[in-house]
Amino acid sequence: MSFIGHLIETFIMKSNSGILLGWWTPIYGIGSIIIILINKYITKLKINKVSKVILLFINCSLILTLIEAIGGYLIEFIFNITFWDYTDYKFNIGKYIAIEMAIIWGLSGIILIYYIKPLLDKIISKIPKYFTYILIILFVIDTIATLFIKSKITDIAILH
- Give the pTM: 0.79
Query: Which of 36-50, 83-97, 126-140, 146-160 is predicted with the least confidence, judged by mean pLDDT?
Result: 146-160
Q: Quote the number of domains for the chain.
A: 1
| Chain Cα centroid distance, residue 143 | 16
Does residue 35 form part of some domain?
yes
* Structure confidence at residue 146 (pLDDT): 85
Does residue 119 form part of some domain?
yes
Could you tell me the residue range of the domain that residue 115 belongs to? Answer: 2-126
Does residue 156 form part of some domain?
no
Does residue 117 form part of some domain?
yes
Read off the pLDDT of residues 3-45 as tens digits, 9 standing for 90 and up.
666 666 666 656 666 677 877 788 888 899 999 999 999 999 9
Give the phi and the psi of residue 29 in degrees, each rounded to 5: -65, -45
- End-to-end CA gap in the chain: 38
* Structure confidence at residue 132 (pLDDT): 86
Does residue 134 form part of some domain?
no
Read off the pLDDT of residues 90-129 as tens digits, 9 standing for 90 and up.
999 999 999 999 999 999 999 999 999 999 999 989 999 8
Does residue 154 form part of some domain?
no
Q: Is 15 helix (H, G, I), strand (E, B) or coil?
A: coil
CA distances to 77, 80, 89, 106, 150 from 157, rounded to whole Å, are: 16, 11, 31, 39, 10
| Chain Cα centroid distance, residue 77 | 18
